[in-house]
Structure 1
Amino acid sequence: MSPEAPPDPLDFRPRVALASLSGEADADWARAGSEYAGAAFLGGIALDEPTREAARELVDRDRTEFLPADPVGFVDEQLAALADSPVQAGFNVRTTELEPLHEVGAVCRDRGAILEINAHCRQDEMCAAGAGEVLLRDADRLSELVAAAAETGATVSVKVRAEVPGVDLPAVARRIESAGGDAIHVDAMDSEPVVGDVAAAADLFVIANNEVRDERSVREYLEYGADAVSVGRPSDEPAVLDRVRDATEAWFAGEVEP
């Protein structure tokens, strides 16, 4: 008798994710939202010295950041704290170096978690370090990071944002797929149709984010072809999460006419 295949981390229900909030999205935060969401992306967390220095600079100007002495150990501890939770865990990470990405990828693999590379943060300090949004303009480097993460056997997502000047997001999606990525987490900003462009461009699991608050916003993203939606800043507001969960479940149950 062949061994049973491990569950697919992207096959979460309901198809609602909690999006990472730097310095706030920890295991307790994920557990609090597990009644409403099928997945939660913890973090973001800086893994290497350049991104950790950027995080320290962000803290100096009153932003919140996770800055544990051992970032990889912190990821492992936080994921372990969710081992008995129904929520599918993921961890959003920022790095310019491959070695810590290999280390945290192995942790995510062993914990059955999604490893999410941050190509989204637009803070000047993080971009100057070579992480976050700047990766969208350097497809070769982003592909290198995705390939390194995928080599570990972890399920790999990339968090991206729309409306970055000079960036063709569907082309970025194709590069992510070619490098071995599994999912793309799209902050649509004010360009919601880009979700449809990305979904058509690559065979990736698409999570749509930005102003997901109610049935109208959920339906818009799912009509564009998103496989799931995510909630950012209101992820600690039960009334919002309740509306989003109900709308998403109704859609996938076929109760809403496309």
Structure 2
Amino acid sequence: MFDPRLALASLSGESDAAWARRAEAHAGAAFLGGIAIDKPSRRAARQLVDRDREEFLPSDPLAFVDRELGALDDAPIRAGFNVRSGSRAPIREAAETCHEHDAIIELNAHCRQDELCAVGCGETLLRDAHRLCEQVETAADTGATVSVKVRAEVPGVSLPDTARWVAAAGADIIHVDAMDSESVIRDVADATDLFVIANNGVRDTATAREYLDDGADAVSVGRPSDRPAVLRHVREAVDEWFETRVEQAGAGG
């Protein structure tokens, strides 16, 4: 999927191609965005900006996706784009663009801002698995690699069940914000063959190893992605963890 097994998680209004370039020496993947790509989600994003939240609001969001991914075509890092939409047509267009750049399209079932949830985006999709799976199918039909970004601790939502459903719909990756429920990574990893990226609190060696021990295939760094020292320590931990597993497999063979 990508190597090294360290990803940069999207930060609204911050995660563009320049941001990814600054960290390309440390990470194997970078999820740009998130970006609202249909009219209702764009209205919601403008409301968020009005209350001082950073958001990407280009005049043409799909052209922005194409331009930012193009700026990473020659980068030693696999790009992805985190998108928000309550409707399927823009998702198809965004997925086609991601496929053209060998990038990952990441469907946002994660954001919990009231404005976004009110228009059927973000966390709302976790509560409506049918619509989430329709979005996954739409993206997967283009041939793009599909990630679904989710969060733990949503009342009434089983992430292992969600993982199984989106896998059946064609997803390749599940990117899990564990919140304060780190054990959910093991539950999701045991439930599916999806590539599992663990997110939340990845700052140091101990946290990265814990998630990998629990079955994650990779970890992602969010807010500290602009701190080279943090990225360097996490990268070293990830590399060491996988090297140890290879050595153990060789010794056992």
Same fold at TM > 0.5: yes
CA shift, 1:160, in A, is 0.2
Structure 1 residue 22 corresponds to structure 2 residue 12: yes
Write the mapping of 1:32-43 to structure 2, written as runs, cut at 5 A: 32-43=22-33
Which of 205, 215, 224 aligns to 1:215? It is 205
What RMSD in Å do the two structures reach over aligned CA positions?
1.2
1:140 is aligned to 2:130: yes
Where does structure 1 lack aligned partners over 5 or more consecutive residues?
1-9
Residue 35 of structure 2 aligns to a residue whose secondary structure is strand
CA distance in 2, matches of 1:63, 1:17: 23
Q: Note if 1:72 corresponds to 2:62.
A: yes
What corresponds to 2:102 in structure 1? 112
Please give the TM-score of this superposition, normalised by the length of structure 1.
0.94
| Structure 2: gaps of 5 or more residues | 249-253
Q: Indicate which of 79, 82, 85 corresponds to 1:95.
A: 85
Q: In the alignment, residue 25 of structure 1 is paired with which amino acid? A: S
Secondary structure of the 1:253 match is helix
Which residue is 1:246 aligned to?
Answer: 236
1:13 aligns with 2:3: yes
**What does residue 7 of structure 1 align with?**
none
Structure 1: how far apart are the matches of 2:217 and 2:155? 26
Does residue 177 (structure 1) correspond to residue 189 (structure 2)? The answer is no
Tell whether 2:177 aligns with 1:187. yes
Q: Percent of pairs identical after alignment? A: 65
Q: Deviations over 1:137-161 (max 9, x none)?
A: 1000100000001011000000000
Partner amino acid, structure 2, of 1:49? K
TM-score norm. by structure 2 comes to: 0.96
What is the SS of the residue equivalent to 2:185? helix
- What amino acid does structure 2 have at the position aligned with 1:185? H
- For these two proteins, the number of residue pairs brought into alignment is 248
Runs of 4+, deviation exceeding 3 Å: none
The SS at the match of 2:31 is: strand
What's the CA shift for 1:13?
Answer: 1.4
Code of the aligned partner of 1:17: A
1:230 aligns with 2:185: no
Q: What residue is the counterpart of 1:61 in the other structure?
A: 51
Picking from 196, 200, 205, the partner of 2:186 is: 196
Cα shift at 1:128: 0.5
CA offsets, 1:155-210, max 9 Å, x none?
00000000011111100000100100000000000000100100111110000000
1:201 aligned partner, one-letter code: A
State the secondary structure of the residue aligned to 1:100: helix
AA at the equivalent of 1:124: D
* Alpha-carbon separation, structure 2, partners of 1:17 and 1:76: 20
Measured in 2, the distance between the counterparts of 1:121 and 1:48 equals 16
Q: In structure 2, which of residues 110, 113, 126 is the aligned counterpart of residue 123 of structure 1?
A: 113
